[in-house]
């Protein structure tokens, strides 16, 4: 039977569409998800592979499909009644059943803890299930609360049917390691676009951003959350600012519930640039000397921005280098505790110029256009050969 892969991105929430989100009439709107992005990268590596991308959207009142770059991208209307709220409509279900009868169907979803996976594991048992972890947290499998115990049982049943799965954070790794098919899960981030993320001349980048030529700049890219350690970055800055010609660049969105972080940045000599288009991020990274990433919470995933900084060639001060599964000695400094972050940042201020092999060290494993999709293609091949 011919192989068909359906990448499912799920429900598109209107409030999650930022100012840079594509408009409904644009082709890019049909791919504006992790599923769309990864599907295109896989298609580029295997043009012969039959791939579709599906999503659910309230802004559509009927099924809308476009053939874009050899991929059939479909947006299903989110209309009641539905089989699974915010996950699966009857139209989607009937279409999947039809495809599973005509093809060796691989359903590639992009969230582990989603009731779509649960439904599919029972309603379309012929399909092979591939899951990429891009967000979401497991239930508390150690809890004695009935609700958490039920959720754990339900998710366990679905995940036992997974043919291949990935995880991004320590808590999810611990969850899947409980399963008998734990060997089917592995750490696999989205990767970085090494074609887009190439370093430009530092002096030119600084001139364009009106930055000082002789100042040492650390940089953080992402929303301003305590969960991402922005408060730790500011504590570090306060400790070191009077010892060195040193400042920090912040690129990202203000989180209104934690506006104190933004106010703290504004009151400092650090630079805040707000959210930027993805294609403009290399400019900001190119102006910096190293990347700051004090994410210690086990529930937080592996940030794309961390890999993008390394793709530019920036060394990093991070709590997550050890999770990458490669020799990280040439990438920067691994930090075990929040209390040590300022120590390693100061060490980086002295030594950032010595880290000149960062990009080459990560490209082989984490190139989003080559190595990441190739690992998914290897999984697809293994699934098909086992059938």
Does the structure show a pLDDT above 80 at 12?
A: no
pLDDT at 19: 63
Residues 146 and 285 both lie in one domain: no
- For the ranges 32-36, 99-103, 127-131, 310-314, which has the lowest average pLDDT? 32-36
Q: What percent of the chain has pLDDT over 90?
A: 87
pLDDT at 14: 60
Packing angle of the helix pair 230-240, 259-266 (nearest 10 deg):
20
- Provide the mean pLDDT of the chain: 94
Residues 106 and 39 both lie in one domain: yes
151 membership: H or E segment, kind and range: helix 146-159
Does the structure show a pLDDT above 80 at 35?
A: yes
Question: Using 50, 70 and 90 to split pLDDT, how confident is the model at 15?
Answer: low
**Nearest-5° Cα angle at 88, 83 to 90:** 55
Residue 233: which of 171, 282, 177, 288 has the closest Cα?
A: 288
Residues 163 and 273 both lie in one domain: no
**DSSP assignment of 206-255, as one string?**
HHHTT--TTSEEEEEES---TTTTHHHHHHHHHHHTTTSSEEEEEES---
Only one residue has tokens 């590596």, namely 45
Q: What is the pLDDT of residues 158-192, one digit of tens each?
A: 999 999 999 999 899 999 999 999 999 999 999 99
Residues 359 and 374 both lie in one domain: no
Q: What is the pTM of this model?
A: 0.91
- For the ranges 14-18, 54-58, 246-250, 323-327, which has the lowest average pLDDT? 14-18
* Tokens at 277, concatenated: 């288009």
Are 248 and 219 in contact by the 8 Å Cβ rule? The answer is yes
pLDDT at 17: 64
Residues 252 and 126 both lie in one domain: no
Residue 381 lies in a domain: yes
* Tokens at 147, concatenated: 């609700």
The arithmetic mean of pLDDT across residues 255-266, rounded, is 95
The arithmetic mean of pLDDT across residues 268-290, rounded, is 96
Residues 209 and 316 both lie in one domain: yes
Query: What's the CATH number where 266 sits?
Result: 3.40.50.2000
Q: How far apart are CA 353 and CA 380, in angstroms?
A: 41
How many independent structural domains does the chain possess? Answer: 2
Residue 374: which of 386, 384, 366, 385 has the closest Cα?
A: 366
**Nearest-5° Cα angle at 5, 311 to 304:** 20
pLDDT at 11: 76
pLDDT at 183: 95
The arithmetic mean of pLDDT across residues 45-57, rounded, is 96
The arithmetic mean of pLDDT across residues 95-112, rounded, is 96
Residues 380 and 241 both lie in one domain: no
Q: What is the pLDDT of residues 357-384, one digit of tens each?
A: 999 999 999 999 999 999 999 999 999 9
Structure-derived torsion over alpha carbons of residues 232, 235, 241, 247, reported in degrees to the nearest 10? 30
Residue 311 lies in a domain: yes
**DSSP assignment of 275-343, as one string?**
---GGGHHHHHHT-SEEEE----TTS---HHHHHHHHHT--EEES-GGGGSS--TTTEEE--SGGGHHH
**Nearest-5° Cα angle at 125, 119 to 128:** 100
Residues 253 and 218 both lie in one domain: yes
Packing angle of the helix pair 90-102, 115-123 (nearest 10 deg):
50
pLDDT at 166: 96
* Tokens at 311, concatenated: 């793709």
Residue 263 lies in a domain: yes
Residues 246 and 154 both lie in one domain: no
Structure-derived torsion over alpha carbons of residues 366, 18, 52, 57, reported in degrees to the nearest 10? 150
Does the structure show a pLDDT above 90 at 79?
A: no
Does the structure show a pLDDT above 80 at 21?
A: no
**Nearest-5° Cα angle at 252, 250 to 258:** 95
Question: Using 50, 70 and 90 to split pLDDT, how confident is the model at 207?
Answer: very high
Q: What is the pLDDT of residues 136-147, one digit of tens each?
A: 889 999 999 999
Residues 140 and 211 both lie in one domain: no
Residue 196 lies in a domain: no
Question: Using 50, 70 and 90 to split pLDDT, how confident is the model at 287?
Answer: very high
Residue 362 lies in a domain: yes
Question: Using 50, 70 and 90 to split pLDDT, how confident is the model at 70?
Answer: very high
Residues 294 and 228 both lie in one domain: yes
Residues 157 and 280 both lie in one domain: no
Residue 195 lies in a domain: no
Packing angle of the helix pair 358-366, 371-386 (nearest 10 deg):
20
**Residue 166 sits in which domain range?**
3-190+368-386
Cis-peptide, bond into residue 334, ω within 30° of zero = no
Residue 102 lies in a domain: yes
Are 322 and 234 in contact by the 8 Å Cβ rule? The answer is no
Alpha-carbon Rg for the chain in angstroms: 22
What are the two backbone dihedrals, phi and then psi, of residue 109, each rounded to the nearest 5 degrees? -105, 165
Residue 197 lies in a domain: no
Neighbours of 182 (CB within 10 A): 14
């Amino acid at each position: 039977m011919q192989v068909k892969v359906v990448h499912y991105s799920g429900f598109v929430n209107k409030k999650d569409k930022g100012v840079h989100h594509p408009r409904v009439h644009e082709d890019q709107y049909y791919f504006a998800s992790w599923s769309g992005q990864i599907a295109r990268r896989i298609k580029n590596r295997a043009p012969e592979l039959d791939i579709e991308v599906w999503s659910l959207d309230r802004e559509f009142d009927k099924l809308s499909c476009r053939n874009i770059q050899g991929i059939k991208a479909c947006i299903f209307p989110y209309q009641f009644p539905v089989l699974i709220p915010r996950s699966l409509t009857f139209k989607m279900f009937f279409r999947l059943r039809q495809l599973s009868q005509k093809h060796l169907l691989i359903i590639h979803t992009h969230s582990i803890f989603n009731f779509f996976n649960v439904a599919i594991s029972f309603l379309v048992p012929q399909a092979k299930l591939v899951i990429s972890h891009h967000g979401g947290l497991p239930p508390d499998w150690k809890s004695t609360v009935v609700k958490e115990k039920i959720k754990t049982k339900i998710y366990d049943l679905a995940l036992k049917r997974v043919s291949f799965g990935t995880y991004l954070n320590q808590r999810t790794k611990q969850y899947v390691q409980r399963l008998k098919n734990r060997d089917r899960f592995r750490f696999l981030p989205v990767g970085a676009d090494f074609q887009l993320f190439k370093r430009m001349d530092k002096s030119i980048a600084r001139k364009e951003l009106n930055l000082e030529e002789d100042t040492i700049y650390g940089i953080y890219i992402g929303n301003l959350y305590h969960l991402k350690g922005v408060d730790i970055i500011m504590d570090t800055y306060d400790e070191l600012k009077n010892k060195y010609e040193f400042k920090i660049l912040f690129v990202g969105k203000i989180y209104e519930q934690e506006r104190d972080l933004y106010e703290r940045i504004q009151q400092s000599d650090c630079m805040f640039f707000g959210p930027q288009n993805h294609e403009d991020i290399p400019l900001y990274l190119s102006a910096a000397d190293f990347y700051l990433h004090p994410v210690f919470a086990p529930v937080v995933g592996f940030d794309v921005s961390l890999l993008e900084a390394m793709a530019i060639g920036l060394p990093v001060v991070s709590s997550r280098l050890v999770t990458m599964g490669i020799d990280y000695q040439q990438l920067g400094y691994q930090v075990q505790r929040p209390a040590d972050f300022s120590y390693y940042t100061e060490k980086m201020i002295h030594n950032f110029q010595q880290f000149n092999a960062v990009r080459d060290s990560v490209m082989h494993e984490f190139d989003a256009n080559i190595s990441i999709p190739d690992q998914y293609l290897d999984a697809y091949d293994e699934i098909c050969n086992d059938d």
